[in-house]
Every structure is written in C-alpha cells, then in structure tokens.
Amino acid sequence: MRRPEPTRKNLLIAGGGLCAVLLLVITAFSCTRTEPELGPAAFVPTTTTLAPTSTAPTTAAPDTTAAPSGPETTTEPPPSTEAEVAPAGLQPLPARTSEVATAREGVDEVALHDDATGPSTGALDATGDYGQRQVFLVVGREGDRLHVLLPTRPNGSKAWIDADDVDVTTHDYQIQVSISGFELMAQKGTEVVVDTPIGVGTQDTPTVGGEFYTWVLLDPTNAGYGSYAYGLSGFSTLEQFAGGDGRMGVHGTEDASSIGRNVSHGCIRVPDDVVVRMVEEVGLPLGVPVTVYA
C-alpha cells in the first residue's frame, strides 16, 4: 500500500498590529489545545512504512448487489448516529480479504458513475485533502468498473469507478469499534493484533456509527492528537471543525483520563502507545474496513 504524503498546511495571519496578532495566536492555540480533533493545519506527512499489501488479481467475483438506479452520492441519507449495537465485549470476526483502490499516478480525477455501464456523472480529485493519492474501499466489481465506498459526505456514499484509474491491492486487516463498550479491536486474518479501550464522542458531538475505512495516515503536530492519526472515510455530525470538514479519525492521546469516556467531537481516541503500535508494529494500511457499532 502506498503511504500517504500530505503537505503541511500553514496558517497565515495578517493583522494591523502586534496585539491583534497575539490575540489571534492565543485564541487559535486555545481552541486546538482544548478539544483537538481532525483539522488540516494540525498534521505533517508521515514517513512510516505501512504493512505491505498484495496486488489484487485481474479478475474477481462479480458484484452481487443490484446496480443503483440513481446517483448514490446524492440519494444517501444524512449522517446518522444510529448503528448496529455491538455485543457485550467485541469478539473476533471471521477472516476477510479486502480490495483497496488507489488513484494511479498521473490521473488527475477519478470519474464517478451511477452504475457499472453508464456515463460519468461526476468526478473526485485524485489527490486527497492532505496531498495523498485518493483511496477507496472496493465493495464489488463488474466488468471494467469497481463499486467503491467513497470518502465523501454523506456517510455511506458509493459509486462505480473505472479500473483503469486506480491500482488495486488486497489485505486481510479489519477493525471493529464499540462506542458504548469503549473498545477498539483490530485483526489480521483471524488474529487479534490490537484490543484497546478508547475514548469517544460526547452526547452533543457523538461518534457516528456505520461502515468506514482508513483513508489517510498523518503525523500530528498538535500534541493532543498523539503520535499518529488515521483519518477515516466518514464524517462526524459537525459540518466543520478546527479548520477541517469534520472528518472522523482514530488518533492517539496521552490523556489517560479521556479513555473510557465520552470526551471528543466524534473522533476515536486510543492510548498513544497503542496508536504507535498500530502504525509502527502492526502496520495497519489504508483501506482497512472499520465497523463502528453503537
């Protein structure tokens, strides 16, 4: 799996006097320190090597779901906090193999289609918000097109993309999250490689349930995010936060008191030593399915 190479996003402050500049700086610092969640100004490129993935076979089982009759990117309901309820204590799932589509170098836009044969009805920039190549989780295949989960609003949006626009690899990782149980479990095949307590969203800014995937890996510059942050394909109930678009994430924290509690704006917090292990030892790649239960 190609590791993301986001670019640093600088905050430029223009002011008429030293006092005004200092006031703006102090205000920005206070906001990011109080409730650090995913925002584009808080990250720099990661240079960590992720787990290797295998090139997907040239043929795959056909998509067994019916082709949508209309644009899935516009007919999905708004983000919902409703999700399947996790069992008491997460249990390992059967092994699964996932296909991940990454926008090819030289491709500027990935065309989106409503079905496996129709014309393009839109496009997504092949470069993500942090400078990384766009990543999609493949949920089906028919002919020369792939049915993929999109990293866009509303949560759960899907579209068909042309196989020629992407490189497809496979892996056998998966993640489960229990909001009410304050637990995250990651597997490789049937082996549990991470099982950790977590902090989740508050009642007013809840962690959203559903099916997502790891979309980008970042090195935070704000200590409140811990050593690493995985941005997910889904979004919180907030339209924007800390200069970003309210995207959910799994990130580290050195605040042990926030674990096992409802403390965030929707992100999933794990102890910092755990997120370091997830990245540097386990090597969780991008395109890992993340199922978030209520």
Residues 97 and 151 in one domain: yes
Name the nearest CA neighbour of 227 among 250, 207, 248, 208. 250
pLDDT greater than 70 at residue 220: yes
Residues 193 and 164 in one domain: no
Residues 80 and 130 in one domain: yes
The pLDDT, as a whole number, for residue 38 is 56
How far apart are alpha carbons 152 and 231 in whole angstroms?
A: 12
Residues 217 and 286 in one domain: yes
Domain boundary among 139, 171, 203: 171
How far apart are alpha carbons 67 and 69 in whole angstroms?
A: 6
Residues 262 and 206 in one domain: yes
Of 61-70, 84-93, 236-245, the least confident: 61-70
DSSP string, the chain: -PPP-PPP-PPP---SSHHHHHHHHHHHHHHHHHS----GGGEE---PPPPP-EEPPS--PPP-SPPPSS-HHHHSPPP----PPPPSS--PPPP--EEEEEEPTT--EEEEESSSSS-EEEEEESB-TTSPBPEEEEEEEETTEEEEE-SSTTTT-EEEEEGGGEEEEEE-EEEEEETTTTEEEEEETTEEEEEEE-BEE-SSSPPPPEEEEEEEEEEESSGGG-S-EEEEEEE-S-S-BTTB--EEEEEEES-GGGTTSEEESS-EEEEHHHHHIIIIII---TT-EEEEE-
**Most trustworthy range by pLDDT among 17-21, 61-65, 265-269:** 265-269
Cα distances (Å, whole numbers) of residue 165 to 155, 161, 210, 223, 235: 23, 8, 27, 37, 25
pLDDT greater than 80 at residue 203: yes
Catalytic residues: 251, 267
The pLDDT, as a whole number, for residue 65 is 33
Domain boundary among 153, 171, 189: 171
Residues 112 and 138 in one domain: yes
84 found inside a domain? yes
The pLDDT, as a whole number, for residue 55 is 72
253 found inside a domain? yes
What is the pLDDT averaged over residues 217-236? 95
**Burial of 45 per CB tally in 10 Å (0-12, 13-18, 19+):** middle
Q: Which range marks the domain in which residue 203 is found?
A: 36-49+173-293
Q: What is the pLDDT of residues 125-172, one digit of tens each?
A: 999 999 999 999 999 999 999 999 999 999 999 999 999 999 999 999
Token pair recorded at residue 157: 């949006």
**Average pLDDT over the chain, rounded to whole?**
80
* Dihedral sign for Cα atoms in the order 292, 103, 245, 199: positive
154 found inside a domain? yes
Residues 82 and 226 in one domain: no
**Most trustworthy range by pLDDT among 34-43, 173-182, 214-223:** 173-182
Residues 121 and 186 in one domain: no
Q: Are 36 and 263 in contact (CB under 8 A)?
A: no
Residues 232 and 200 in one domain: yes
Burial 100-110 (b: 16+ CB within 10 A, else e): bbbbeeebeeb
Q: What is the pLDDT of residues 94-104, one digit of tens each?
A: 999 999 999 99
As for how many domains the chain has, the answer is: 2
